[in-house]
Structure 1
């Protein structure tokens, strides 16, 4: 297998990761598949921002690992998951061993925003 090129984020290709201050709820076919107050938002260059949910806050029984893989020279190799509940093939992905510059996304799952509903909800304190 050919050696893969590894690139570092910088001014020409910035990547930032921030904690989302609200609760993030992910639904597929109307069913909650994850809810977290520890979600992250990754912004990369000119791409739309992506929400990354911690795996412990997901119902992983509703996701099914696929054989699909992809590679990003800034983040590493991504593994994919389908959501049988909604028929969403390769609807989610995870960098299980991300490069050090994006280490915060390890243990998180991201979703294509057009294949699930992602809502940020302010919790109401009583």
Structure 2
């Protein structure tokens, strides 16, 4: 088995994690599954910004761990969850690489599977 690459953010591929500074509400199929004032925004290169929600601010009954995993050389191994019955709607980097340590203990929702509202 080969080792997975670990990459650091660079000027060509920047990654920032900053406090969102707004109230974030996440709904799945019309059901509110998360609300927080403690979200952080991860901006990676030219990809759309992603809201990472503290797991403590997500309704525990809404999430069911999936068997799906993925790997990002900048962030680490991702685990997935089904949310309110929607398959693999949520991901988390439970042990993120040091460059994005601020996302530990948080989850993110796919915007095509959940409604993410900032107010």
Do both share a fold (TM > 0.5)?
Answer: yes
Shift of 1:40: 0.7
- Mapped to 2, the partners of 1:44 and 1:13 lie a distance apart of 7
Structure 1: which 5+ runs fail to align? 122-126
Give the number of equivalent residue pairs. 119
The alignment partner of 2:26 has SS state of strand
Of 91, 96, 99, 1:98 maps to 96
* CA positional deviation for 1:30: 1.1
CA distance in 1, matches of 2:60, 2:29: 16
Over 6 Å off, 4+ runs:
none
Q: For 1:56, what is the secondary structure of its paired residue?
A: helix
Q: Please give the alpha-carbon distance, in whole angstroms, between the structure 2 residues aligned to 1:119 and 1:13.
A: 27
Q: Deviations over 1:80-123 (max 9, x none)?
A: 0012x3x42111100000000000000000010111011112xx
Per the alignment, residue 116 of structure 2 pairs with 118
Report the equivalent of 2:70: 70
Q: TM-score, normalised by structure 1?
A: 0.91
Matches within 5 A, 1:7-46: 7-46=7-46
The TM-score normalised by the length of structure 2 is: 0.96
Helix, strand or coil at the partner of 2:4: coil
Cα deviation, residue 58, structure 1: 0.5
Note the aligned Cα RMSD (angstroms).
0.8
- Aligned residue for 1:81? 81
Kindly name which structure, 1 or 2, has the bigger radius of gyration based on alpha carbons: 1
